[in-house]
Amino acid sequence: MTNSNPICPLCDRPIPDGGGSLHHLIPKLKGGKGGPTVLLHQICHKEIHATLTEAELARSFNTVEALRAHPRLEKFLIWVRKRPPGFRSKVPGKRRGR
């Protein structure tokens, strides 16, 4: 049997069954309803929303490439790539600077 788990476009690790979370590249609240989505690990998805506001996501971080280039997400991705695909962690609170 082949491993047919989808790959997270953010961290490049396989997403185990039920471990994925759909991310709207343009937030629904900012006109992205029905727009492009990507399947991410839940931990990767939570980190995006802990790091960036909806406005920032809509304006500047509406591609996987842009998300990967964000300094904090870049650090997170280096760290999470060393973890097993099913790894989960609580993202402590809202760490978004206002």
pLDDT tens-digit profile of 36-84? 999 999 999 999 999 999 999 999 999 999 999 999 999 999 999 999 9
Return d(Cα 92, Cα 98) in angstroms, integer.
16
> Does residue 38 lie within any of the structural domains?
yes
> Does residue 7 lie within any of the structural domains?
no
pTM attached to this predicted model: 0.86
Residue 22 forms beta bridges with which residues? Answer: 39
> Does residue 30 lie within any of the structural domains?
yes
Domain coverage including residue 24: 20-80
Report the percent of the chain where pLDDT is more than 90. Answer: 79
Q: 63 or 97, which is more confident?
A: 63
pLDDT (0 to 100) of residue 98: 43
> Does residue 55 lie within any of the structural domains?
yes
Number of domains observed in the structure of the chain: 1
Determine what percent of the chain falls in helix, strand and coil, rounding each to the nearest 5: 35, 10, 50
> Does residue 96 lie within any of the structural domains?
no
Report the percent of the chain where pLDDT is more than 70. Answer: 88
